[in-house]
A and B are shown apart, each in its own frame.
Chain A
């Protein structure tokens, strides 16, 4: 039986950013199992120093090309918390709706374009356009809906234009929201078909006990602000995020890493779902159970399934939000902002997990200190330990190098890592 294996993946594909996987097994013993992050850092936290507060969301949204809306909203929340501004109900609802549409766009992109090719035996989504045209068309329909909604609410699907401290520069037409609502309703069959498709995928059988960190919802499945929680029982307030992230640097990573009760923890759709399962919409919960996902689930590959469940959650909740918004006349889009000395934290659940922005301002509202803790940087140590455990599990099974390589690649992809974001 084959008991040795060499896996060396340089710049893993179908993920955002640059990371390497190395596994070396000799005679059934794991000699090396490494996840490396080699992305070039951009130093956003230094860039902001000395900048007026209004620059922060504009510049920080550009940390990430996929979750730029989430970054912008976390940044805005941190500034508003520092200045003591509470968003109006209308602003809060519009922001959550925008957030939901980013979640849908990002999850669909990941599930269909980045993850699904592995399960369908393709190198990318391109050949699937010929072999599985209905699958690709469905993915494009869902993604287009989410992107169109982001355009209508945030002004632009990427690096949004209308989102500002205090509210929005302008509001969508109500007729446009009505159309989005109709399209959301019409997308439900596509989501059910997605669930049927993912039901047919062979999710690798792997499990490693993990601590999961996310926002804790009180009455609704949480996305913007609130308390922090871990499956190991740690509970913190939003502004105590440092006690939840404990960032440190180590060799092999240009990104920072995090730990809490154990050597590592995980954030993301699976963490949110593990911590907030009872708060899911009943239909989303039913689909989760249909796909075999019940908390607390410790199989990282189930991150894909958790994302699909969240797609259902955000679509159903978005229709509720639009009904609320359409139910009353538009108020002023934007409140006045008065800068003041102070500090603020904004915690937002972006597609890949909990994101924190922190700023400290001087009396003129200029940034003295900035800190951004990215979901993927919180996940890196956990990915590393998962790869070690995965290599250990398959060391004596005689699998081919390519099989172990694919399992390791799929494992990293299941975290939907945004590596360039993690090394911001």
Chain B
């Protein structure tokens, strides 16, 4: 388990690694225990000092902190700030940490009190608007996906350990889907965000004949106006496009521009559940990128 590793003849130090979770399904951490065939090798690459879901021992200093989940309560800001202070490198693990993930779907309601009442009635419960990690702390590296892809995490962690620059693909999922020789889902009548979503998942969903919902956020050159046109050409309405673009938070600002058109269509909802029209949404004070 602890044999000395080396890269290009240079001995490698095993970085101390901690895994942490804020509001999430903890599925991304679970993914780390998947890929059983390479699990023991992967674990040998690092020294895990904090992994509450898997081990009892805990430590307060670590080189790399992987943080899963989004911020939805004030005490999570405190925990996140502490983790940031203890870590040399902070990695946002998965779509919730990177963009807010599915959790941020609750932000589309104007009235947070209604959201609380809908689930808990009159029982007092604390929550706030959902934020990605980068709204509060410096994030050094993002690992996209809902869920994250273990093979990609292995590659990224290996790059980190050997000191290589970590690069994400700039092109969209569409490229990987074509390389996999799939029939285009548009031709099969299925809406898909493959043309605009950042690659790196090897077209995981489209290869299973499931349209892409954009969990990895936008590719570097995403042309969203053109996507909207394509989707309309294939007969998909604005609501179908919005459902996908707003699902994980990666396309939040563009999704906001689609939203007003939908309010009228949602007339069956009680008045307080009206979706937030663009321009009215409170924009949180985003931390300036260093």
A62 CB contact (under 8 Å) in B40, B102, B273: B102
> Taking A126-B55, A158-B27 as contacts, is the C-beta distance between A42 and B39 under 8 angstroms?
no
- Asked if A16 and B26 make an inter-chain contact with CB atoms under 8 angstroms apart, the answer reads yes
Contact string against A for B residues 23-60, beta-carbon threshold 8 Å, 1 for contact and 0 otherwise: 11111111101101101100100001001111111100
> Could you tell me the distance between the alpha carbons of A161 and B146 in the complex, rounded to whole angstroms?
11
Please tell me if B136 contacts chain A, counting CB pairs below 8 Å. Answer: no
Complex Cα spacing A41 to B51, Å: 21
Pick out which of these stretches binds chain A: B6-14, B83-91, B192-200, B208-216: B208-216
Q: Is B142 an interface residue (CB 8 A)?
A: no
For chain A, residues 12 to 58, give those with C-beta under 8 angstroms from any C-beta of chain B. Answer: 13-17, 40-47, 49-52, 54-55, 58
> Which residue from chain A places its CB closest to the CB of B211 in the assembled complex?
A169
The CA of A167 and the CA of B289, in the complex, are separated in Å by: 45
Which stretch, A74-82, A196-204, A288-296, A362-370, touches the partner chain B? Answer: A362-370
- B27's partner among A13, A51, A66 (CB-CB below 8 A) is A66
Given contacts A59-B102, A59-B105, A162-B209, contact A113 B33 (CB under 8 A): yes
Contact present for A158 and B30 (CB under 8 Å)? yes
B119 at the interface (CB under 8 A from A): yes
Which listed residue, A14, A157, A169, A420, touches B55 by the CB 8 Å rule?
A: A14
Flag whether A123 is at the interface (Cβ < 8 A).
Answer: yes
Query: Which residue of chain B lies nearest to A54 when distances are taken between CB atoms in the complex?
Result: B243
B247 located at the interface, meaning its Cβ lies under 8 Å from any Cβ of chain A in the complex: yes
Q: Does A109 contact B (CB under 8 A)?
A: yes
Q: Which of A125, A143, A147, A420 is within 8 Å of B25, CB to CB?
A: A420
Alpha-carbon separation in the docked complex, A50 to B239 (Å) = 11
Docked complex Cα distance between A420 and B72 (Å): 13
| Residue from A43, A129, A420 in contact with B106 in the complex, judged by beta carbons closer than 8 Å | A43
Q: Does A279 contact B (CB under 8 A)?
A: no
Cα of A44 to Cα of B125 in the assembled complex, Å: 15
**In the complex, are the beta carbons of A50 and B247 less than 8 A apart?**
no
Q: Give the chain B neighbours of A136 by CB distance below 8 A.
A: 40
Residues of B within 8 A of A51 (CB): 243
* B205 contacts partner chain A, Cβ-Cβ < 8 Å: yes
Across the interface, name the chain A residue whose C-beta is closest to B248: A62
Evaluate contact between B24 and A45: CB separation under 8 angstroms.
no
- Asked whether A70 is an interface residue with its Cβ less than 8 Å from the other chain, the reply is no
Q: Which of B121, B123, B210, B213 contacts A162 (CB 8 A)?
A: B210
In the complex, residue of chain B having the shortest beta-carbon distance to the beta carbon of A146: B36
Q: Which of A16, A41, A124, A256 has a CB less than 8 Å from the CB of B56?
A: A124
Residue of A nearest to B95 (CB): A62
- The reply to whether A140 and B268 form a contact with Cβ atoms under 8 Å apart is no
Residues of chain B within 8 A (CB-CB) of A41 are 72, 119-120, 125, 127
Contact B209 A158 (CB under 8 A): no
Q: Do A159 and B53 contact each other (CB < 8 Å), given the known contacts A45-B119, A49-B118, A366-B268?
A: no
| B contact residues around A161 at 8 Å (CB) | 204-205, 208, 210
Q: Are B273 and A64 within 8 A (Cβ)?
A: no
A12 and chain B: residue at smallest CB distance:
B52
Instruction: Report chain A residues within 8 Å CB of B29.
Output: 65
Chain B nearest CB, measured from A386 CB (Å):
21
With A59-B105, A126-B55 known as contacts, the answer to whether A64 contacts B127 (CB < 8 A) is: no
Residue of B24, B34, B48, B101 touching A158 (CB-CB under 8 A) = B34
Query: Which residue of A has the minimal Cβ distance to B206?
Result: A161
Find the B residue at minimum CB distance from A118.
B56
A144 touches B55 (CB 8 A): no
Q: Is B22 an interface residue (CB 8 A)?
A: yes
Of A11, A41, A68, most B-chain CB atoms within 10 Å: A41
Q: Is the CB of A162 within 8 A of B102?
A: no
Query: Is the beta-carbon distance between A47 and B106 smaller than 8 angstroms?
Result: yes
Q: Which of A40, A55, A364, A421 contacts B268 (CB 8 A)?
A: A364
Are the C-beta atoms of A13 and B55 separated by less than 8 Å? yes
Q: Is the CB of A13 within 8 A of B58?
A: yes
Selected A-B contacts with CB under 8 Å, 21 pairs:
A13-B54, A14-B54, A40-B76, A42-B103, A44-B102, A49-B118, A50-B269, A51-B243, A52-B239, A59-B247, A62-B27, A64-B25, A68-B27, A109-B30, A123-B55, A124-B56, A124-B57, A126-B43, A158-B30, A158-B147, A170-B209
Residues of B within 8 A of A (CB): 1, 21-31, 33-34, 36-37, 39-40, 43, 48, 51-58, 72-73, 76, 101-103, 105-106, 109, 114-116, 118-121, 123, 125, 127, 146-147, 204-205, 208-210, 213, 239-240, 243, 247, 266, 268-269, 273, 275
Question: Apart from A62-B102, A65-B24, what are 5 other A-B pairs with CB-CB below 8 Å?
Answer: A65-B26, A130-B1, A159-B146, A249-B120, A362-B268
